[in-house]
Amino acid sequence: MNELRGKRGILAVIALLIIGIGFLSSLFELAGNVRPGVSQIYNSLAHLVAPNNIATWVYDWRGYDTLLETAVIYVGAVVSAMVIGRGVVQMKSCPQEPPAQSKPLEFHIETLTVILKYLGLPAAILLFSYGIMVVTASSTSGGGGFQCGVIMTAAYLLAAIFYGKNNPIRFGKRFIIGIGAAGLGGYTLLGLPGFLTTGFWQYNIGADVWGIAPSIMRFIFGEPFRLSLVLKEGVFFSSPGIIPLINVAEAFNVIGAIGLIYFAFIYGWQEE
């Protein structure tokens, strides 16, 4: 930190002050002056898709952006594993220093209390079930694929902490990478039905807000997820369409990604 001592440090503090004052003054100006803009139109249309407005926002209006966001998680995991040694490459013609390969984490489970020993596994199973509940209810209540993935990998980590490396939930290398690939690939491919029938990638053919999808596609992707909203004004029907499917794919992706990070750090990565 020698660079930030003395005169340089003072200059850096002045610079930070200027940045801080500028940024805060802009926030003060913005307070109370936010224009709703496009969100008014979104909110007026949201009831035609999923009752959970956030699910509609994230997976329908800006669904393609969420796909790339999902890819960020996947890439983050792949890069983390790469740092540890998975998939490091060298030029065949030009030998360099040997690539980094990490050893497994040294941890031993010796002082496990009886309660943890017997309740750990049921807790992990409960967490798994909770994850399934969260992902299936994505379009009607809070939750979704991201959350499900995080909850399920939390169960994995819990089992690893309680029972060590030979825990009951032993995800293998191939399984974790496969499930991540299936998740992200599945999410990507869920854009295809809309693309092939209407020309718009990831058009929600099940909900079909704009009535441009063929009725058979609307039936296939819409009927299984149809919801009814019973109000005193009457009963209203809507279908979240492909949103529940995207959420399942999302969950697989997150399990694969976070699972890969846990796996690589716990077991290390050494090429056979």
Partner 1 sequence: MTTIPSNLWSIPLIVAIPLLAAIVVNALYDKRAIRYISIISALLTLGISIISPYGYHWFTGHPAFDPTTFTFTFDPGIPGFRLSLEFFFGPMQQIMIVISSLILVFCVIMATSGLTKHQGPYLAMIFLLFASAAIIIMVNDLYHLWIAVEIGSLIVVGVVVGSGTSISHKAALKYAYFSAICGSGLAIALALLLGITGFPNVSDVVRVINIFGVGGMETILYISFGFFILSWMYAGGLAPLHPLKSEVYGASYPHATAVLQAQSKLMLVAIGIIMLRIFGTLPFVKEVMIFLSIITMMLGVVIALLQIDFRWIIAYLIISHSGLVTLGIALGTKEGIIGGIFQAVNDIIYMSVLLFCCEALYYFGGATSTRGSFGIAKKSPWLCAAVLLGAFAASGIPPFNGFQSEIILIQASINAGFPEIAVIILMVSVTTLIALLRAIYRIFLKPPENEVAANAQIPKSITIGTWLFIILTIIIGVYPDIALRFIVPFVEGGFLP
Partner 2 sequence: MTSISTSYEKLKKFLDEFISGNGYTNIMTGYITGELQFLIFIIVLAALFRMFSFPLAIIMLILVTALALYFTPTIIGVEKENSNDLNRVLYWFLIYFAIIIAITLWGG
Residues that bind partner 1 (CB under 8 A): 19, 22-23, 25-26, 29-30, 33-39, 41-42, 45, 60-65, 68-69, 71-72, 74-76, 78-79, 81-83, 85-94, 96-97, 99-100, 177-178, 181, 184-185, 188-189, 191, 194-195, 198-204, 209-210, 212, 271
Match 């930190």 to its residue by tokens: 1
Q: What is the CA radius of gyration of the chain?
A: 24
Report in angstroms how near the CB of residue 27 gets to partner 2 at its nearest. 14
Q: Are 74 and 253 in contact (CB under 8 A)?
A: yes
**Cα distances (angstroms) measured from residue 50 to each of 37, 43, 215:** 21, 11, 19
Q: How far is the first Cα of the chain from the last one, in angstroms, to the nearest whole number? A: 41
- Which does residue 212 bind out of partner 1, partner 2, none, counting CB within 5 to 8 angstroms by kind? partner 1
Tell whether residue 18 is a contact of partner 2 (CB under 8 A): yes
With the C-alpha atoms ordered 227, 50, 193, 258, is the resulting torsion angle positive or negative?
negative
Residue 122 structure tokens: 């049921």
DSSP 222-240: HGGG-EEEEETTEEEEE--
Part of the chain binding partner 2 (CB under 8 A), chosen from 14-22, 70-78, 98-106, 210-218? 14-22
Among 6, 10, 11, 49, binds partner 2 (CB under 8 A): 11
CB of 16 to partner 2, least distance (A): 6
Contact 163, 170 (CB under 8 A): no
As measured in angstroms, the least distance from the Cβ of 14 to partner 2 is: 7
User: Given the complex with partner 2, which of 11 and 126 has the nearer CB atom?
Assistant: 11
Which residue ranges make up the site for partner 2 (CB under 8 A)?
1-4, 8, 11-12, 14-16, 18-19, 22
